[in-house]
Amino acid sequence: MIPDEVTAYLHEHIPLSRHLGARLLSHEGGTLQLGAPLEPNLNHRGTAFGGSLSALAILSGWTLLHLELRARSIPCRLVIQRSALDFEAPVDGDFTAVARLPEPRVWERFLATLARHDRARVTVAGAVACASGAGGTHQGTYVALRGAGP
């Protein structure tokens, strides 16, 4: 899927992504980057609302897994089980969230468990940032349920 198609999919199936202004910027080499504008995500201090940062970080991990499993023709329902965002600095501009697949050994174990038990969990690391620097780091644990819809 091209970035505009992925963005349209997210906006249709996860309406919050539309409200955030989320859009796919890149997906290659086991890494995915989403972007969002600051304005609809402002807090009372003129910086990005922490909930928006957290939502985009979770969405980046979900989208990465969704696309990677889809590329392997593995239909799954993905849900977030645990999310932790460590805020490092205020985000004062349009921002991004990056998610990276775990190391190959962990990813292969996840795929094997999913094939064997129709259910598996995996932790995806990521970060949020803006032009002025890092906003924080994210760890999300997602559960895949094989055979279920989006």
Spatial CB neighbours of 123, under 8 Å, sequence gap ≥ 6: 102, 106, 139, 140, 141, 142
Q: Is the pLDDT of residue 36 over 70?
A: yes
Instruction: Give counts: helices (H), strands (E), the chain.
Output: 4, 6
Query: pLDDT > 90: what percent of the chain?
Result: 95
Q: Is the pLDDT of residue 148 over 70?
A: no
Q: Which residues pair with 79 in a beta bridge?
A: 143
pLDDT at 58: 98
The four Cα atoms 85, 87, 92, 93 give a dihedral, to 10 degrees, of: -30
Query: pLDDT confidence of 1, banded at 50, 70, 90?
Result: confident
Q: Is the pLDDT of residue 30 over 70?
A: yes
Q: Is the pLDDT of residue 48 over 80?
A: yes
pLDDT at 149: 56
Query: pLDDT > 70: what percent of the chain?
Result: 98
CATH label of the domain that carries residue 126: 3.10.129.10
pLDDT at 22: 98
Q: Is the pLDDT of residue 31 over 80?
A: yes
**Residue 72 lies in domain:** 3-146
pTM for the full predicted model: 0.95
The per-residue pLDDT for range 75-130, each reduced to its tens digit, is 999 999 999 999 999 999 999 999 999 999 999 999 999 999 999 999 999 999 99
pLDDT, mean over the chain: 96
Structure tokens at 140: 């999300």
Tally of domains within the chain: 1
